[in-house]
Structure 1
Amino acid sequence: MPEWTHIAVRSIVAVAVLFLLTRILGKKQISQLTFFEYVAGITLGELAGFISTDIGAHFMLGIAAIAVWFSVPLLFELISLRSKRIRELVEGKGTIFIKEGKVLEENLKKERYSADELLGRLRKKNVFNMADVEFAVLETTGELSVLLKPEHQPLTPKKLGIAVGPERETQTVIMDGSILDEPLAAYGLSREWLLTELEKIGVTLENVFLGQVDAYGQLRVDVFDDMLQLPQASQKETLFATLKKCEADLALFSLATEKFAAKRMYGRCSEQMAKVVEAVTPLLKR
C-alpha cells in the first residue's frame, strides 16, 4: 500500500474514532472547558494527529492511548456528577471578584487578573461602570458572571406588575420555498391554511426563503425578492381595536337610551367587555 494511502486510511479512522469519543463525552467538550477538559481535549487531538501520520508507530497502540485519555475524563465526569468534592477537585470552584459592590483584590491576585482585565470582562457584559455591579464571579469555565445592582437591572413585565401570556416556540414552516410539515403540524395547522395566508399577503410559495409561525398563529415570511414590500401582519391589532370598539359602543348605548332596564343592561355588558379587554391585553399588545 502506498504511503499516502496508508496515511489517508489511518487519518480517516482517527477522525472517526475521535468524533465518536467526542460525541460520547458530550457537548461540554466543545463549550467552555474546565482545566481537566482542556488538557484532555488537547491530548486527544495530539494523539489523533500522531497516529495519523507516524507510519512507523503501531496503529493500535495509538488507539489504546486515545482510549485511556477518553476513559479517564469520562470516568471523572461520571464520578463528579455524584460527588461535590470530586467535582470541585476536577473542575475547581468559582472565584468571587466583586461582592456587594466591592472589588475583592485578593481574589483578583489569586487568579492573576489585573484591573484592566476585569474592566474588559465587564465591558463584554455591557457593563461600563463598575459601580453598577452588585456581584461578579469568575466561573470554573473562565466565564465572568455579573449581577447588576437592582436599580440598574432592566425592567421586566413582572417588575411592572404586567401579566403576560405564555410563550411558545416559533416554528419554521417554510424553508427555501418548501413547506415543512412537521413544524406546521406542531401548531395544528395545515398546508391549506399556510397557502391561504400566503395568498393574503400576495406571495407565492416558491418566492419564500423563510416562513415562521409565532405563538399567536401569525405567519411572517422573508422572500428571495428583497425589493418586494410585504404588508405587516395586523391580526392582533385589529382584534384589539375591535374589542375596544365594542366596549365603547356598549357604553355609548347605555348613555343614549332612556329606558332604565336597557341602560342597566348595556352598562353591565360594557363592564364585562372591559374585563375581557383587560384580560386579553397582555396577549394582544406585545
Structure 2
Amino acid sequence: MLEIPDWLDIITRSFIMLVLLFLLTKWLGKKQLSQLSFFEYVAGITIGSIAAEISTGLERNFLHGIFSLLVWTTVPFLVAVIAMKNKSIRDFVEGSATVFIKEGKILEDNLKKEKYTTDELMELLRKKNAFNVSDVEFAVLEADGNLNVLLKKEAQPITPKDIQLYVPPEKEPQTVIMDGEILDEPLSNSGYNRGWLHTELDKLDVTVENVFLAQIDSYGQLTVDLFDDKIQVPAPQEKPLLLASLKKCQADLELFALETESKSAQFMYTKNAEKLEKMIQKINPYLVN
C-alpha cells in the first residue's frame, strides 16, 4: 500500500480542519467573533489548539482529534442554549455587569472585585470621551469587558430633541461608484440615474474612471474620492449657495422696507423678511456643511 508523504498528510489534515472549523464556527454564531464569555473564551482557545494538533500531529489518530473537537464545540453550544433560558446559569457562564460609578461616586469595592486599578478605569473613561470623573453620572463594566458611560445631564452634548428641532430620519449613504465602476442598483435606490451622476461629476470636473469611491447621502449630495490623492475635489456647493441666496433675499426685503415710503409696503416687506428669517433658522442646520 502506497504510503502518503508527511507533507501531503499535513496539507490534507489542515484543509479538512480549516473547512470543519469554519462550519463549526458558523454553527456557534457571530458571538464567537465579538462578545466572548469566559467559557467561550476558554473553549475558543482550546478548539484552536486541538485543530493545530490534529493538523500536524501525524502520529496521533485523526478521528480521535475530530471527536475531541466536536465535544469542545457542542458543549459551548448546548451551554449557550441553556443559558438563554435560565438567567442564573447565564450569569454564571457569561458573567454579569459591575457598576463602577453610581450617582457620580466611584465604587472602589467593585473596582477591587474586578481587579481594576484607578488608572485602568480612567483609561476606559477616556475611550468614552469622559475625561473628567465629575462629569460621569453612571458607569458600568459589561460582561464582555466594555465600559458603558452615562454622562451627567449638564455634561451631555445638546441634541436636536433638546432644542425641540425636528430632524428628518437619516438614510444610509449609497455607494454609487466603486473602483471606477458605476453601481446601478444603489444609484437607482437613491432615486437617480446615470445621466444625473454624469452631470454631477462634470460639475466637479472629474470622470468616472478617476473615481475610487462616490457616495450619495440622504439629501442627494454626491461626495467623491479620487484615485489620485493629490487632486483636491471641491466640496459640494449646492446647499451653501442656497443658504446664501435665502439670506440675500432676506436682506433685500429689509432694504426695501427701509427705502419705501409706503406704510403698507413697508409692513409687507418687514413681515416677509421676518418670516424668511425664521425659515432660515429652521433649515440652517441642514444647509451648513
How high is the TM-score relative to the length of structure 1? 0.88
Q: Distance in 1 between matches of 2:189 and 2:67?
A: 46
Please say if 1:36 is aligned against 2:68: no
Q: What is aligned with 2:241?
A: 238
Change (3 A) 1:83 1:174: same
Of residues 190, 194, 197, the one that matches 2:197 is 194
SS at match of 2:149: strand
Q: Supply the AA of the counterpart residue of 1:91.
A: E
C-alpha offsets along residues 7-37 of structure 1, whole Å, 9 cap, x if unaligned? Answer: 1111111011111111222222121321011
User: How many Å separate the matches in 1 of 2:130 and 2:263?
Assistant: 64
Question: Are 1:208 and 2:211 an aligned pair?
Answer: yes
Gaps of 5+ in 1: none
**What letter corresponds to residue 176 of structure 1 in structure 2?**
D
Structure 2: which 5+ runs fail to align?
none
| Amino acid aligned to 1:163 | Y
CA distance in 2, matches of 1:110, 1:87: 20
The 8 Å contact of residues 163 and 282 in structure 1, kept in 2 or not, is answered as no
> What is the rounded CA distance, in whole Å, between the counterparts of 2:10 and 2:225 in structure 1?
47
The residue aligned with 1:139 is 142
Distance 2:154 2:211 in 1: 45
CA RMSD of the aligned region, Å?
Answer: 2.5
User: Structure 1 residues 50 and 163 mapped into 2: Cα distance closer, same or farther (>3 Å)?
Assistant: same
Residue of structure 2 aligned with 1:18, choices 6, 16, 21: 21
Q: Distance in 1 between matches of 2:21 and 2:28?
A: 10
AA in 2 matched with 1:30: L
| 1:100 corresponds to 2:103 | yes
Q: Percent identity?
A: 55
Q: For 1:169 and 1:105, how far apart are their aligned partners in 2?
A: 43
Name the amino acid aligned to 2:215: Q
Equivalent residue number for residue 222 of structure 1: 225
Q: Is the 8 A contact 1:162 1:282 kept in 2?
A: no
User: What do residues 90-111 of structure 1 show as CA deviations (whole Å, max 9, x unaligned)?
Assistant: 2111111111122212212221
TM-score of the pair, normalised by structure 2: 0.87
Cα 1:220/1:257, change in 2 over 3 Å: farther
Work out which of the residue numbers 261, 280, 285 in structure 1 matches 2:283: 280
Aligned-residue offset at 1:208? 1.1
Distance 1:132 1:79 in 2: 40
Q: CA deviation at 1:283?
A: 2.8
What amino acid does structure 1 have at the position aligned with 2:67?
Answer: A
Which of 2, 7, 16 is equivalent to 2:5? Answer: 2
Distance 2:271 2:163 in 1: 29
Counterpart position of 1:64: 67
1:235 counterpart letter in structure 2: E
State the distance in 2 between where 1:104 and 1:12 align.
Answer: 51
Counterparts of 1:259 and 1:139, CA distance in 2: 68
Which of 51, 55, 67 does residue 52 from structure 1 map onto?
55
